[in-house]
Structure 1
Amino acid sequence: MQRNATTQFPILLVHGLFGFDRIGGFELFHDIKQALRTGGARVFIPYLSATHSNETRGEQLLAQIDRVLAGTGTARVNLIGHGQGALAARYAAALAPDKVASVTSVSGPNHGSELADFLEKALTPGRLPGHVARSIATLFADFISLLNGQPQLPSAAVAALAALTTEGVGAFNDKYPQGLPKHWGGHGPEKVNGVRYYSWSGTLRESTDTEPEPLQVFCRAFSEYFITEAGQNDGLVGRFSSHLGKVIRSDYPMDHMEAINPGSGKACRGTDPTALYLRHAERLRKAGL
């Protein structure tokens, strides 16, 4: 059955760290943009810095929101941010709530990422045992190489990690607390300053693939560095760390990359990531957004 994704306001799909229109060999939001458009939605993908602070990326998003509003003649937009894109969306909504109808966080590190904490320690000399630091730093560098084709670890990537640590996001949350739960693992307020807040995320599913995709392999390798949310993460972001506003669900069986690229695995058993976006567009439409 064709879903009605005709929202009142345009949808902006906001990419996270290292995101452009394409990452590696695949298009960001693979099939999702087309499915939403087929369902009747007006969809745009803003172009933000691949690696930068949450506030800088948020300012870039605000400028592009203005362009979308001018081009479409609408008064507001619906922001759906993946990963760090959720933080940019939150920033834009906090500063310009009159231009943002809703913010939806998809696998967003709204309370920081344990992986970012560990990576920051690994990249700081003396913070971790040498062999552990080398192991995770090499893993991260290989991951970046897969995403953007660069064999070295970009210095901007190292700087951007600070914005995603528990401490970095904590400082961000002190300034922009809209939609945050008051208690760990809870729901946040669904509406703040006229902006609706939603979130969903996944956890690593049991893999039966005999030849898993490289991105799946990295997500599983990174998940080993989670402590507080061990077994409750998507490889890059913890389940409860992702909570914001109305939590639709935070344990869909999918890893961090499958949330924007359903074709990255041979099968995303138990859920269809594209369908999540279509159902959410219907949810926004029914809410008058």
Structure 2
Amino acid sequence: MKKIISYLSFLLLVSLLTGPVQAAALQQYKSNFVLSSYARTKYPMVFVHGFGLGFNQIGTESIGLDYWYQIPQDLSRHGARVFSAELSAVASNELRGEQLLMQIDEVLALTGQKKVNLIGHSQGGPTIQYIEGVAPHKAASLTAIAGAMQGTPVFVNASQTPLLEPFIHAIGTILGYSMNLATGNQYPVSMIEALHAMNPEAIQAFNMKYGSAAIPRNCQSQGSKLTPNGIYHYSWMGNRQATNSLDAIESPVVTLGNSFLKGEANDGALPLCSGRYGQIIRQDYAHNHFDEVNQFFGILGPFVQDPVALYRQHANRLKLQGL
């Protein structure tokens, strides 16, 4: 727990030293030079963060931290038109989905396109799934990176530990308001709604209302790559926990998460079963839940797959699909 508090303190320190980013929720990435058209998709790409770390960028381009560390920048250098959305860090899937919908409309207005390619990490998975439920005509594809499509029992199991539930609520609430301080925005914060959004039992009702055939019925089945509404679906995730002893921030968090998953194959935060969605590219990358977005600061285990390259390859996959 002390490591988690240290981690929150680190984020606050970065924000205080560099100053909050501008209050605009949507961020566009533009490269000063273009190396190729390898990642130039037909529709713009919109990245959607998960629970807790509700920011596009803390600090500045030169001194700061991106949620999707160096990934949008690389895609932009390879021809993609890339945006990242900034949503409530600690809130329900529906609230976050409505916030995302407004930012999608902004992207469509800026680009003149009719659709976007959505990429969501962790709780960003159900968040982009909400868009398919309420505005399917605005989505060309949905990609879940370790998406919590079936929720995660981490917080449910942790809250059953004596005296731990109040601590979880306190940490989540502090984290939500810390992200508001770091970003200069004032998003709603509700740890109760966030926990409900990730509860495996509660998310079944969410999937009944907003889900699609891309979400498999169980851990042994596959979801649909292409659903009748014309939307393509993809997913991938890692299956490791602590991956680099030099990463003193990430390793204790995912190790703690793994301890509450009670033996299920996982990435330190989510069971592999929860991340199954659409066309499953892989579920065995040597990444944990933070490595999947190239955090922190690109510190990875030795001889592992480069997360930045995986996103570049996926952009090319979407391009070849005509998306």
- TM-score with structure 1 length normalisation? 0.85
Out of 211, 228, 237, which is 2:270 matched to? 237
Report the Cα distance in structure 2 between the residues aligned to 1:149 and 1:183, rounded to whole angstroms.
37
Out of 246, 260, 263, which is 1:225 matched to? 260
Report the Cα distance in structure 1 between the residues aligned to 2:253 and 2:279, rounded to whole angstroms.
29
Q: Does 1:163 align with 2:202?
A: no
Q: Does 1:267 align with 2:303?
A: no
Residue 159 of structure 1, CA deviation: 2.9
Q: Does 1:85 align with 2:124?
A: yes
Deviations 1:103-134 (A, max 9, x none): 00001111110113224xx2xxxx5434x657
| Corresponding residue SS for 2:267 | coil
Report the Cα distance in structure 1 between the residues aligned to 2:70 and 2:189, rounded to whole angstroms.
32
Deviations 1:121-178 (A, max 9, x none): x2xxxx5434x657x7499569949x7499xxx9622431111011121111111221
Name the counterpart of 1:200: 236
- TM-score with structure 2 length normalisation? 0.77
One-letter amino acid of the structure 1 residue matched with residue 111 of structure 2: T
Residue 212 of structure 1, CA deviation: 2.8
Name the counterpart of 1:255: 288
Q: List aligned pairs for 1:44-83, cutoff 5 A.
A: 44-83=83-122
Q: Structure 1 40/176 Cα, relative in aligned 2: closer, same or farther at 3 Å?
A: same
Q: Structure 1 148/213 Cα, relative in aligned 2: closer, same or farther at 3 Å?
A: farther
Of 15-24 and 160-169, the range deviating more from structure 2: 15-24
Aligned-pair identity in percent equals 36
| Corresponding residue SS for 1:40 | coil
Out of 281, 284, 288, which is 2:318 matched to? 284
One-letter amino acid of the structure 1 residue matched with residue 145 of structure 2: V
Report the Cα distance in structure 2 between the residues aligned to 1:157 and 1:254, rounded to whole angstroms.
27
Gaps of 5+ in 2: 1-34, 182-187
Whether the 8 Å CA contact 1:213–1:265 is kept in 2: the answer is: no
Name the counterpart of 1:42: 81
Report the Cα distance in structure 2 between the residues aligned to 1:286 and 1:76, rounded to whole angstroms.
16
Report the Cα distance in structure 2 between the residues aligned to 1:67 and 1:40, rounded to whole angstroms.
20
Report the Cα distance in structure 2 between the residues aligned to 1:73 and 1:133, rounded to whole angstroms.
47
Report the Cα distance in structure 1 between the residues aligned to 2:86 and 2:168, rounded to whole angstroms.
28
Whether the 8 Å CA contact 1:199–1:245 is kept in 2: the answer is: yes
Q: Structure 1 7/208 Cα, relative in aligned 2: closer, same or farther at 3 Å?
A: closer
Deviations 1:91-110 (A, max 9, x none): 10222111100000001111
Name the counterpart of 1:11: 45
Q: Does 1:214 align with 2:249?
A: yes
| Corresponding residue SS for 2:119 | strand
Deviations 1:30-85 (A, max 9, x none): 10010010010000011211121101111111111111111101111000001111
Out of 152, 169, 180, which is 2:215 matched to? 180
| Corresponding residue SS for 1:41 | coil
| Corresponding residue SS for 1:17 | coil
| Corresponding residue SS for 1:226 | coil
Report the Cα distance in structure 2 between the residues aligned to 1:208 and 1:96, rounded to whole angstroms.
41
Out of 136, 140, 146, which is 1:101 matched to? 140
| Corresponding residue SS for 2:46 | strand
Gaps of 5+ in 1: none
| Corresponding residue SS for 2:129 | helix
Whether the 8 Å CA contact 2:55–2:86 is kept in 1: the answer is: yes
Report the Cα distance in structure 2 between the residues aligned to 1:55 and 1:250, rounded to whole angstroms.
27
Name the counterpart of 2:5: none
CA RMSD of aligned residues (A): 2.8
Deviations 1:176-203 (A, max 9, x none): 2211112324320111111001111111
**Displacement over 2 Å in runs of 4+:** 22-26, 127-130, 136-145, 147-150, 205-209, 261-269
Q: Structure 1 141/92 Cα, relative in aligned 2: closer, same or farther at 3 Å?
A: closer
